Amino acid sequence: MNRSNAIFNSSESQIYSSGSNLSQKFKLIFLGDQSVGKTSIINRFIFDTFDGKDHPTVGIDFISKTLYHDEKSVKLQLWDTAGQERFRSLIPNYIRDSAVALIVYDITKEESYNNIPRWLQDVRSERGHDIVIVIVGNKTDLERKRVIQREAAEEFAREHETLFMEVSAKMGDNVNNLFQTIASVLPGNENRGFLTDNNFPMTSMMGLNQNINLTNRGHEEDGEEVFEQKKNCQC
């Protein structure tokens, strides 16, 4: 991400339904190697844009968006992490109080897929099984260059009890479905037909342990002031 044109501004990106009551807030952290498209997925979901430029995220970035249905709403706080090795030591602190971890890989780059177990270990070390984990294969628009077969990734996800979905941040394929699914499996929202501000219906993806405990571990982080201070963190 280009520091001179940072996309994350929480005061401008929160989207609400005028008739909804904010009742839940969940932190989502994006993990994965550099250039797999974590920021592009977020941009596509929040702004429905794709610039195609490689702007590596520096440190940690944050943005939020609210999904709603009837009088119930869920605020998703999206934390974008740098994929460079030099920032890896920062990431466990952000995993610690996350409700969802999205581990993103590039379907055209075998190394990014082979590194999933490292990211998965980081998540399990901090949160055990008290977290929703989604393995996300990005860049399905490059099908001719695919080296990671969907079936293999699905089997890996099944073996490690995670959710799985392939998307294209460039074309927008499945990106909204990804977040809709995540919101629908969070505690209190199972089988609920949430909508985004763009009125995309939510769907369920695969079974999930309903006894999952998403309470924070370690330090408590509540209030917008805390999150605003961590925006663009390069600690």
Instruction: State the pLDDT at residue 218.
Output: 36
What are the percentages of helix, strand and coil residues in the chain, rounded to 5? 35, 25, 45
Instruction: State the pLDDT at residue 62.
Output: 84
- For the chain, the straight-line distance linking the first and the last C-alpha, in angstroms and rounded, comes to 17
Q: Kindly report the pTM of this predicted structure.
A: 0.74
CATH superfamily placement of domain 15-230: P-loop containing nucleotide triphosphate hydrolases (3.40.50.300)
Query: Domain residue spans in the chain?
Result: 15-230
How far apart CA 113 and CA 49 sit, in angstroms, is 25
From first to last of the 235 residues of the chain, give the pLDDT tens digit. 443 333 333 333 433 333 445 468 899 999 999 999 999 999 999 999 998 766 655 557 889 998 875 567 888 999 998 756 666 777 888 899 999 999 999 999 999 999 999 999 999 999 999 999 999 999 999 999 999 999 999 999 999 999 999 999 999 999 999 998 898 888 776 555 554 444 333 233 333 433 344 443 333 343 333 333 344 444 3
How far apart CA 198 and CA 67 sit, in angstroms, is 10
Instruction: State the pLDDT at residue 140.
Output: 98
